[in-house]
């Protein structure tokens, strides 16, 4: 009989997957569709995993960007090809830090609407979440409540 023995990971599964929890996802509304958008969220994998690709119908490309402050305090964005997720560690994407950049929006991101975002993980495979669009001046909602 297969499927009778449930592991702890199965019993306490997140709504979308037993191995990766994607939480607090949000995007900022865009003023113009010609400007890139950004998605912020938190990731937690157990056992360890890695985020490989991101895609969404609202953008031609979704790229994982890291932000590093270089000489003279100028922040530079770099493309992350493979984002490792250590077992149990929470990876936070937030304004001014790592984010998922939405290049060439296919539509304006309107406050109050939402869009699907598909994340492909090395071990867990594909997961699709619904990303709510917050206001143009929105900051990280998790921090705003602290
Ligand atoms: Cu970026």
Domain chopping of the chain, boundaries: 15-133
Largest CA distance in the chain: 63
Whether the per-residue pLDDT at 14 is higher than 90: the answer is: no
How far is the centre of ligand 1, averaged over its atoms, from the C-alpha of 2 (Å)? 45
How far is the centre of ligand 1, averaged over its atoms, from the C-alpha of 137 (Å)? 17
How far is the centre of ligand 1, averaged over its atoms, from the C-alpha of 75 (Å)? 10
Spatial separation of the C-alpha atoms in residues 51 and 25, rounded to whole Å: 15
β-strands 59-69, 75-79: how paired? antiparallel
pTM for this structure?
0.81
In CATH, the architecture of 15-133 is Sandwich (2.60)
Question: Which is higher by pLDDT, 16 or 24?
Answer: 24
Whether the per-residue pLDDT at 135 is higher than 60: the answer is: yes
């Amino acid at each position: 009989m297969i499927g009778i023995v449930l592991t702890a990971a199965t019993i306490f599964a997140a709504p979308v997957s037993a191995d990766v929890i994607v939480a607090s996802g949000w995007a900022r509304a865009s003023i113009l569709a010609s400007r890139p958008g950004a998605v912020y969220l938190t990731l937690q994998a157990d056992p360890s995993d890695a985020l490989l690709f991101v895609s969404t119908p609202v953008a031609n490309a979704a790229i994982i960007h890291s932000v590093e402050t270089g000489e003279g305090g100028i922040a530079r964005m770099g493309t992350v090809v493979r984002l490792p997720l250590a077992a149990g560690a929470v990876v936070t994407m937030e304004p001014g830090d790592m984010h998922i950049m939405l290049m060439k929006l296919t539509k304006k991101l309107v406050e109050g609407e939402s869009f699907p975002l598909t994340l492909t993980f090395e071990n867990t495979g594909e997961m699709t979440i619904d990303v709510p669009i917050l206001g143009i001046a929105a900051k990280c909602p998790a921090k705003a409540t602290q």
